[in-house]
Every structure is written in C-alpha cells, then in structure tokens.
Amino acid sequence: MAEQDGWSEKDWMRVVPETERALYLQSGFGERQPFGERPALIVIDVTLSFTGSRPQPVADAIREFPTACGEVAWEALPRIAQLLQLFRDRSWPVVFTRNDSLDQVFAGGATKRVRSRPSPPEGQKFPPGIDPLESEWVLEKAKASCFFATPLNSYLQMRKVDTVVVCGVSTSGCVRASVVDACSHGYTTYLVDDCCFDRSHFAHCANLFDISAKYASVVSLTELEALCVSRVSD
C-alpha cells in the first residue's frame, strides 16, 4: 500500500537495513490508521530541561541542563509551534506535559538514569514560542508515560477524543512510552516525526521505525497538515 511504500522515503528509515524493512512489510507491520474525527495533541516534555536555553551542541547543552538534547531541539521547535497553531486554529484539545519534580522525589524519575546533579528549577519553563495558553492543560508526570498514574485518559474521554497526536522529547523515552500507552488505551495514535527529537540520532531513528511498525502512524508535519485539511473538507 502507498503508506507502506512511503516508509523508504523517510530520512529516519536510512538507519534500518532494507532486509529488515522488507521483513516487517511482508509481515503486515506499518499499517497507517485512518485519522479520527476528534483529535487531541499531546506535547511531551518540551521544556528548557530538554531544549536548553539556546541552540548549541548537545555536549555543551548538558552542562546547563543534564537532560538537554542540543541543536536538534531548536530545529524542531518552529515545527512544534506550527503544529500547535494547527490544533489551536481548529479548537482541538492541546495538552502539555512536563516532569513533576515533587512527585519524583517520592516515586522516582522517568528512567533509571543516575542523577549526578539536579536540573535547575528554570528547566520546568517552556521555550519561546511553545508557551501553553491559559486554557491548555499542563500535565505534570513522574514517570515516562503521560498516561501512567495521571488523569489524562479521563480528560480525553470527557472530550470524546478518538485520535491522539504526539510530539516532543525524547523519541526513545517519554514519547515512545506515551505512544505505546495511547495505543494500549485504544486511541488511534499519530506521531509527528519532525516534531520529535532525541539526544541520540540513532535512538531517534530506530524508535520511529519501531513505533511506526507497531503502535502509531508516523507522519511528517506536512503530512499531518494535509490530513487535517482533508478531514475538515470532508
């Protein structure tokens, strides 16, 4: 099918051996689900802790914020802002997530990473252009998935959401965990690949491949825009 043929056109597919791509397609992985009638956008952890305060190589960025992802974050930010506007223009629900620093003291963090030093308090702030509106929920979470031990599922059900669109950071961590849980909760799930980022390019690409195969429809911002326009036109 056309969507499957599009796999090979994605930049992140280049790290995946062609033989493995062929095996996945032969087994029926990678089907794209129809875009639903009531979508919601979840912006995962796009805070200064992960973007840093300015564009710089990741080796420099982590001196300021240990979890920063460097320049790739700042490359993604304008596209995330564009994605936000796409949902706001249509009055579709938008949810932001960030770390719950207080709960993590008692419940542990999102990963088993050893924390040599705490992230500065200003890391909880959002970078320029990604500020939530007063009407938009900022969901604080202790663990990787935004669904784990949070009322997110209730929020989505109250709004009769059938499709969850995900972007943010990191592709291999909190984004992946949230996508898997969105799928497990029965939502049609879309991941916007060029609105996600990770400190590891290899992990970013490998996880997009696996997510696309099993849990979500992985599309570009341009592809998602076309889906939204088509849905409204129908």
Yes or no: say if 65 and 189 are a contact pair by the CB < 8 Å rule.
Answer: no
Annotated catalytic residue 196: no
The identity of residue 29, as a single letter, is F
Name the percent of the chain in helix, strand, coil, to the closest 5: 45, 15, 35
Q: Which residues does residue 164 pair with via DSSP β-bridges, in sequence order?
A: 40, 189
Q: Which residue has the tokens 């497990």?
A: 184
Count of positions (residues) in the chain? 234
Torsion (CA) 225, 128, 139, 220 in degrees, nearest 10: 20
For 154, how many CA atoms within 13 A lie in the half-sphere containing its CB?
A: 5
The residues pairing with 137 across neighbouring beta strands, listed in sequence order, are 95
Distance in angstroms (rounded) separating the CA atoms of residues 139 and 150? 8
Nearest to 119 by CA among 69, 170, 62: 62
Alpha-carbon distance of 17 to 205, in angstroms, equals: 12
One-letter amino acid of 204 = H
CA–CA distance, 167 with 77 (Å, rounded to integer)? 10
Of the residues 69, 146, 167, 174, which is catalytic?
174
The set of catalytic residues is 174
